[in-house]
Amino acid sequence: MQLVVARIGRAHGIKGEVTVEVRTDEPELRLAPGAVLATEPATTGPLTIETGRVHSGRLLLRFEGVKDRTAAEALRNTLLIADVDPAELPEDPEEFYDHQLMDLDVVLADGTGIGRITEITHLPSQDLFIVERPDGSEVMIPFVEEIVTEIDLDEQRAVIAPPPGLIDESEAVVASAREEEGATAAGTGKDDA
């Protein structure tokens, strides 16, 4: 099975290094020197990682045959794809590969069905489950411990405890900052005159 593990960003320096947006929880395994990665677009690769280092919190990679800034810049926005054995599991039992989570049923703690995971979106701050509901509509559920309370691969389900308004907009609580400021100012008892 092929998994996207990174996206190449801009060139760094003049010796062929590039920044990468990491899309794997195991960069030390997937993006190590010597790793051979397929690419999207396919015509760009395969690419073999020659060196890797962290600089100012960003991973920098250099690929075999990419020796200058011009060649590095030509790789910008290329997706790096690793071949992964479908039976392979992450070392941490609290981590999951996307393919393990796809098509899981999403249910509330009481067993009420919400829908099925059809896509996983990876954002800088968190991952989101895109869940297709029985009526065909979609809902986005942040993949955070406070909301996704259990992943049960044996039962093929994700149990959630959504805050009010996440699943049913009619339950949303809307607070206005102006109302809060007005209540605070009114409660001071100060005379403006």
- For residue range 130-181, what is the model confidence (pLDDT) as tens digits? 999 999 999 999 999 899 999 998 899 999 999 888 887 666 566 655 555 5
Instruction: Return d(Cα 65, Cα 173) in angstroms, integer.
Output: 56
CB neighbours of 102 closer than 8 A, spacing ≥ 6? 117, 118, 119, 120
pTM listed for this prediction: 0.56
String of DSSP letters for 80-137: EEEE--TT---SSTT---HHHHTT-EEEETT--EEEEEEEEEE-SS-EEEEEE-TTS-
Task: Indicate the average pLDDT of the chain.
Answer: 83
- pLDDT value for 140: 92
- For residue range 81-108, what is the model confidence (pLDDT) as tens digits? 988 776 666 667 777 877 788 899 999 9
